[in-house]
Each structure stands twice: as C-alpha cells, then as structure tokens.
A and B are shown apart, each in its own frame.
Chain A
Amino acid sequence: MDTPTIAEAASLIAARKLSPVELARHCLGRIEALNGTLHAFIAVTAERAMADASAAEARLMAGTMRGPLDGIPIAHKDIYATRGIPTTAHSKLLEGWVPTEDATTVRTLAEAGTTMLGKLATHEFAFGGPSFDLPWPPARNPWNTDHFTSGSSSGTGAAVASGMILGGTGSDTGGSIRGPAALCGIAGLKPTYGLCPRTGILPLAFSLDHAGPMAWTVEDCALLLQHMAGHDPADPASADRPIPSFTAKLGHSIAGVRIGVVRQWHETDVQVSPAVQRGIDQAVALLRDQGATIVDVALPSLFEYQAATFAILTTEAYALHEPWMRTRFQDYGELLRDRMAMGALTTGTDYLQALRRRHELCMLTAEAARGVDILITAGAPAEAPRIDAVPKWGNLQTPSFTNPFNLTGWPAIGVCSGLGEGGLPVGIQIAAKPFQEPLLLQVAHAFEHAAGLPRARPSVVAAAENIITTRAPEPATA
C-alpha cells in the first residue's frame, strides 16, 4: 500500500479498516527498504513502535481511542530529547547521551497515542550541514538521492516525503522546517514563537528557536500541531493562551481574506527559478479565484532580516557551545564549527545592535502588513542542489525567504507548489500574523487543494514498494 496521510489513516483506523499494527509494520518495512539509501533515520525504535501500535490497537478494540493521532507512526528530529533513547543532535559530541526525560512535545504527541518509530537525521546541532564528517551520513533527497534535502530538519523531510512516517517533528531557527518542506515537497509549519514548548529540545538560538510539525499535507500539520501547541511553564518563552482548533477552519471559504504578495523578495532581492515563480503566480491565481483579495506588500529587504538574524543566531549559538568550541573544536563537523565560529567573533555591541534592529524590523513588518491577513513568498529560490555542491558559506551569500519569520516570530508554512525543471519539488511560503495559525492553515489548505495536491510520491518509493511486496519485512532495530 502507499503510505496514507494522517487524516486518511485516522479515518481508516476509526472505521476499523486499517490496523495500527499493520500501519506500523508498513512504515518499518519502508524504512528497512529505503533508509540505507536515504539515511533519514539515525535510530529506528522498532520494539517501541510495535508496543505503541499494539497499545493503540487495544484502545481501538476497547473503544477508547484518543483521537486522530492514535496509532499514527511518527518520528522525532534527533534534537528532541527522548527518555531512555539516545539523542545525538547528529554529533559526535553527544554520542552516548540518553535523556532521562522526554521533551514536552515528545510527551504530548505520545499521550495523543502516536506510534514512535525512532530518531531522525538533522544537521549537526540543527546548524551545520550537509556534513560528511559526522558519525552518521547526511539525509538524502528522496526525489533524487544525489541532491540535498535542505535542513536542518533533513531527516524529517526525507522520511515524510518517502512515506517512512506519516508525520514528524522539526525545529526552525532560520528556516529549518520550511527549507526541507520546500526541497522535499512536503508541508512544514513553523508556528508562532512561543506556541509550541521548546522544553527538552536542544537549543540552537533561544530567541529564534521554534518547534513545529512536518507532514505530507497541510491538514496533517494541523493535526500534529494540535498536540504540540500549549503552555509549558518550564519554557520561559511559552505563550499562556487558549489553544484553538487548528482544523476547524480547513475547507471553509477564504473569500474576503486579504493576501499580500511580497514581490520584491523574489523579483529583486533573490533570483528564483521559473518553476518557483510559476508556483507563486499559480498560488495567487488560485486564491484569487476563491475570493481572496490580492495586493502587493513592500517589506524591508531580505538582506536586512538576514543580517539581524545571523548576528543574533550565531551569537546565541556560540554562547551555548563556547565550552566545547574552545576545548573540542575538532570533534564538531567542519561545517558547524566554521559557521559557529563567527559567533565567537561578534561583539556584545554587535548583538545588542542586532536586537535593536530586530525591534525596528518587527515594527516595519507589522506596519507594512497592516492591511493584509496573509503574506505569500517563495519557499526557496530553486530546486534542491546536488548534495556535494552546497557551498559552506551559502547561508551567508544568499539571504533566505524564511529568516524574516524567525526574526518576527510570525507563523509561516512551507507548502509544495509542484515540480521544477529538474523533477524535484519547489515550494511557496505562506505567513500570517502571530497566533493566526487557524487562518494560515485554512489558506494553505485552500491552496493545496485547489492546486490538485497532494501529489505522487517520489519515484524512489516505487522501487521500495517492489522490495516490500516481495518479502515480508521484519522490524529493524538500530
């Protein structure tokens, strides 16, 4: 069978047409068939997965299901602490660390009944990658394994796109959820800063870090977000406010929604491929056809957001890593240590000037977007480059479309908008104002459906299907 979406699986399970145990076996089989090529998983927790799935099946038979995530196979980016399961951040420096507590979001997703399949590849400490000098290889793009997944939630992107899991967790400090969503052809949501607790997730930069869901569809992201969002007193940035339904508005009319297109970002600041441009144009046309009002919005240049984000991110990250950077520099991968070293060289004044610039940019963004509810931008400039051709300083040379929403804390989602000339996915980014996730998901879902998405899985999956159907897979263990 093809891997269903979370929404499809939930309906089938509720109707007793799909067993959680059968679904877990399907995903483990696909991991066994594909992980040697894609390297999406660092560790597969097959025994735990089968125990979780059996428990979900027992609840199904007893009529005590916990909701739409009960029995749904997921996995966690390996910076999410998992009790009793090694958590490495894809780094030699954390090899052998076994947390004694789950991250808050790991716990809440488990309480929702999910089946936990294991830990997913990441760029080292969610910053340096793709790296070939770490204890585990970097994840590969399922659409073409010679190509990059983007990162840092690289394993989640590859695992979701290839149907190894139905959904997973990511983290996003400068675009680490939305980047892989764009290049792997899935949906990835960076919620409003403070909506999802960060407790138990290894930090990269405290004031820019966001936890969020990644899945095949927007609806699936909404279903996961429902069990990731919530107040956590242990996280000082956690927002203490009521959590709305993130699925209630899906499928409702978007007539009257005011949408701003940030043209200068992809027409002036950063050149995008024809396929990316077509995706933006198509989104605008499809949303206008559904009654949305479309206007152009002029925001500050991407270079302005990049400069402030970079100074804050590297300074905060270096402060966290300073003891090891001074004493175990060689134990980091080259990409991470060289990029992070920049944070050792910025001054206290640089950091404070960046925070003052952040305040100005937040004010300018809010003012420019005053007349609209939603913003549309490119997700990434083009299709994924070859994994061996990612420049070390690429993140410094070209500003990203995603940084502005880390700096402002606004929610933003990456959504697939089709395939490019090279046969790899391209995507758009849709953003909203703080805590407007229900509207953001409503508009993204409206685009996804109008565009005829979801779409076919990458061809590497078809090859795996042949393997899976010719032998009964046994659960793999890391």
Chain B
Amino acid sequence: MPHTTREDFEVLVRRAGLTLTPAQIDEIYVGWGFVEPMLDRIRTEGRERGAEPAHVFRPEFYIPAAEA
C-alpha cells in the first residue's frame, strides 16, 4: 500500500491535469505503491549539497563551430 492516502493521491492526479474515473485512479494507485519506495531510494542520505546531476548544461553547444 502507498503511504500517500487514496484521497491525497486523487489530489495529485487532479493537479497533474489528468481526468480519470475512480476505477482508473484505483488502478494507478496500486502502481504508485511500487513507485514511492523508488522515489525514497533516489534521495541518497548524506548526499553532498554540491553533488551535481548527470546532465550538464553546456552553453557552447549552441554556438556554431565557426564562431567558437
């Protein structure tokens, strides 16, 4: 069972802009029970404040080679 309540989950669905029937919300609520532990897992305990993400912004990418 997810630790998000069924009522709170419905709020999340509405906030996302999805228009679902109660039966459809019930279905994905089951899946959410598997997703929550994954989201907890990616919040590494003790991660340094400065730990960068894997994707890096590179401004030179947007400059044609001839101008670089």
B13–A345 CB distance below 8 A: yes
| Interface residue tally for chain B (C-beta within 8 Å) | 29
A307–B39 CB distance below 8 A: yes
- With an 8 A cutoff between CB atoms, is A329 at the interface? yes
B31–A339 CB distance below 8 A: yes
B38–A310 CB distance below 8 A: yes
Q: Which residues of B contact A393 (CB under 8 A)?
A: 30-31, 34
B39–A350 CB distance below 8 A: yes
- With an 8 A cutoff between CB atoms, is B3 at the interface? no
Q: Which residues of A contact B32 (CB under 8 A)?
A: 342, 345
Q: Which of A356-392 contact B (CB under 8 A)?
A: 356-360, 362, 392
A341–B38 CB distance below 8 A: no
Q: Size band of the A side of the interface? A: 35 or more
Q: Which residues of B contact A358 (CB under 8 A)?
A: 53-54
Give the CA-CA distance A340 to B55 in the complex, in Å: 22
Main secondary structure of the interface of A (DSSP, over half): helix
Q: Which residues of B contact A293 (CB under 8 A)?
A: none
Give the CA-CA distance A346 to B28 in the complex, in Å: 13
- With an 8 A cutoff between CB atoms, is A311 at the interface? yes
- Min Cβ gap A208→B in Å is 11
Give the CA-CA distance A452 to B34 in the complex, in Å: 41
Q: Which residues of A contact B12 (CB under 8 A)?
A: 345
Give the CA-CA distance A356 to B42 in the complex, in Å: 8
Q: Which residues of B contact A397 (CB under 8 A)?
A: 34
Give the CA-CA distance A310 to B19 in the complex, in Å: 23
Contacts known (A344-B17, A345-B13, A357-B42); A396 close to B52, Cβ less than 8 A: no
Give the CA-CA distance A307 to B35 in the complex, in Å: 8
A396–B44 CB distance below 8 A: no
Q: Which residues of A contact B19 (CB under 8 A)?
A: 326, 329
- With an 8 A cutoff between CB atoms, is B63 at the interface? no
Give the CA-CA distance A350 to B42 in the complex, in Å: 8
Which one of A311, A341, A344, A345 lies within 8 Å of B42 (CB-CB)? A311
Which partner residue on chain A sits nearest B17 by CB separation?
A326
Q: Which residues of B contact A79 (CB under 8 A)?
A: none
- Min Cβ gap A137→B in Å is 22
Q: Which of A46-68 contact B (CB under 8 A)?
A: none
Give the CA-CA distance A362 to B55 in the complex, in Å: 12
Contacts known (A236-B61, A344-B18, A353-B43); A338 close to B53, Cβ less than 8 A: no
B38–A352 CB distance below 8 A: no
Contacts known (A306-B38, A310-B35, A397-B34); A341 close to B28, Cβ less than 8 A: yes
Q: Which residues of B contact A356 (CB under 8 A)?
A: 42, 44, 47, 51-54
Which one of B18, B27, B30, B52 lies within 8 Å of A359 (CB-CB)? B52
Q: Which residues of A contact B24 (CB under 8 A)?
A: 338
Which partner residue on chain B sits nearest A347 by CB separation?
B39
- Min Cβ gap B55→A in Å is 6
A307–B41 CB distance below 8 A: yes
B34–A325 CB distance below 8 A: no
Give the CA-CA distance A355 to B55 in the complex, in Å: 7
Q: Which of A266-307 contact B (CB under 8 A)?
A: 303-304, 306-307
Please provide the 7 A-B residue pairs with the shortest distance between their CB atoms, ordered closest to farther.
A355-B53, A396-B34, A344-B16, A307-B38, A358-B54, A307-B41, A359-B54
Residues of A within 8 A of B (CB): 207, 236, 303-304, 306-308, 310-311, 322, 325-326, 329, 334, 338-339, 341-342, 344-346, 350, 352-360, 362, 392-393, 396-397
**14 A-B contacts, Cβ less than 8 Å apart?**
A306-B38, A307-B41, A311-B39, A325-B18, A326-B17, A338-B31, A341-B16, A341-B18, A341-B20, A345-B13, A345-B35, A392-B27, A393-B30, A397-B34
Known: A325-B18, A345-B13. 11 other contacts (CB 8 A): A207-B54, A307-B38, A326-B17, A329-B18, A339-B31, A341-B16, A355-B53, A358-B53, A358-B54, A360-B51, A392-B31
